[in-house]
Amino acid sequence: MWGKKWKPVGKLAFSESDCLPPRNKVANKLDTECVSCSVCVEENKLCKCDGGDGSSTIINDSVDVEQPVKANSSFTHSVINMIGMLIGLGQLSTPYALENGGWVSVFLLVGLGIICSYSAHLLGKCLEKNPQLRSYTDIGHGAFGRKGKILAAIFVYSEIFMALVSYTISLHDNLNRVFTDTANIRLAGLSKSQLLTVIAILVALPSLWLRDLSSISFLSTGGIFMSILIFVTVASTPICGGVIADHSIPILHLQKIPSISGLYIFSYAGHIVFPNIYKAMKDPSMFTKVATVSFTTVTALYTALAFMGARLYGPGVNSQITLSMPPHLIATKIALWATVLTPMTKYALEFAPFAIQLEHNLPHLTSRMRMIVRDIVGSVLLLAILALALSVPYFHHVLSLTGSLDACLAYLEPYHLYRHF
């Protein structure tokens, strides 16, 4: 028995002395520590025993060692964060997608919502069965090995980057409409709309310095409120007499389905934050319920807005519905301002997975230094995104590309890893 336990298996991160406490420790503590190490040996996992208190930490050598996320988010906070991550600029393009794809394409929208909700459920089960998994890079490693981890990291950071670019493009477009009547000002080679976008980004920049998801939830609440406000203002347009909902929606444009699929998928983008939401929950067993409530709410809102916008504006609907609204209406101005504020509530939550991973990759630094590095890197990244967004003003193309990246990331990895358990 003892020979089997002490037989070297795999890579061990301890020696026999690691299990032996100082001689003045009591005997039962020795037994506890050595049993912990023996279990680690039998399970072929790395063991790091703390000789001071007898506790042990088991670490799978295929997963990055990360510091635990502070679990202080309630069910309500988690729902708010998930809805706040899902809802937002994606809703602006749903009328455009429905008009171009036909009303039958709404089944694609609802179907994608169901698939995304189920993939979130599988993700929660994977995290429950293997608590050492903390990010999509870990899931990629578990599902496809080292190459899967590298590929997942590329997809994760590409999606974060492209999503932030799309937010900034929308911010620029709607700011330009909000201040249409103001005098044209140029400074340092920047136009009026570009200067306004720079100012807005500088205002949103401190939100990247928030550290935990419980603190970010108030921004998510603001984003949800802005999305509801956009819905209400679009719905009130016929009441204000600005437009009549008399356009017919085509049945199906099959040739356009591939191009609008990315827009629909982007409407549900946000899976990269789900592992962080799960780890931040006080009761992770409620994660499936959180996902069900969130996706049901978001899908209902998207469907209603898609039909409403397509009926109101027909073939002339813009890829951002707020840009199709009559400019003279008060409702339009409210919708434009809500659309301007929505991206500013998104930056922190979208940036959270990258920021958390960055801190975990700097274990040799003090907590304060990690925070400083995180803030500096986040600030530089957002400014780089600002420069790119001002150079590439193609909103719906960026959304489609980002949606495609999210599809690869959100559906394949959890499903493939779940089959391994």
Average pLDDT estimate for 299-307: 93
CB count within 10 Å of CB 418 equals: 18
Identity of the highest mean pLDDT range in 104-113, 318-327, 347-356, 394-403: 104-113
Q: Poorest-confidence range of 304-318, 341-355, 360-374, 389-403?
A: 389-403
**What pLDDT shows up at residue 167?**
82
Q: Please count the CA atoms within 13 angstroms of the CA of 213 that sit on its side-chain side.
A: 32
Query: Domains in the chain, start-ordered, CATH in brackets?
Result: 2-59 (no CATH), 75-420 (1.20.1740.10)
Measure Cα distances from 410 to 54, 90, 120, 334, 414 in Å: 39, 16, 8, 34, 7
Could you tell me which residue, 245 or 293, shows the higher pLDDT?
Answer: 293
Could you tell me which residue, 282 or 356, shows the higher pLDDT?
Answer: 282
- Contact between 352 and 216 (Cβ < 8 Å): yes
- Under the banding of pLDDT at 50, 70 and 90, the label for residue 405 is low
Residue 91 has pLDDT above 90, yes or no: no
The rounded percent of the chain whose pLDDT value lies above 90 is: 13
Identity of the highest mean pLDDT range in 174-183, 215-224, 266-275: 266-275
Residue 328 has pLDDT above 50, yes or no: yes
Over the stretch 152-194, which tens digit does the pLDDT of each residue have?
778 777 777 777 887 888 888 888 888 876 666 767 677 777 8
Q: At 129, which amino acid appears?
A: K
Please name the residue ranges forming H helices in 179-286: 192-204, 213-236, 257-266, 274-279
d(CA 349, CA 355): 10
Phi-psi region of 27 (alpha: psi -120 to 50; beta: other; left: phi over 0): alpha
Asked whether the whole model's pTM tops 0.75, one would answer no
Average pLDDT estimate for 193-222: 78
Average pLDDT, the chain: 75
**What pLDDT shows up at residue 45?**
44
DSSP bridge partners of 190: 187
- Under the banding of pLDDT at 50, 70 and 90, the label for residue 421 is low
**What pLDDT shows up at residue 13?**
41
- Contact between 112 and 260 (Cβ < 8 Å): no
**What pLDDT shows up at residue 106?**
94
Sorted by sequence, the CB contacts under 8 Å of residue 319 that are 6+ apart come out as 92, 93, 96, 263, 395, 396, 399
d(CA 368, CA 117): 37
**What pLDDT shows up at residue 412?**
54
Residue 128 has pLDDT above 80, yes or no: yes
- Under the banding of pLDDT at 50, 70 and 90, the label for residue 37 is very low
Residue 41 has pLDDT above 80, yes or no: no
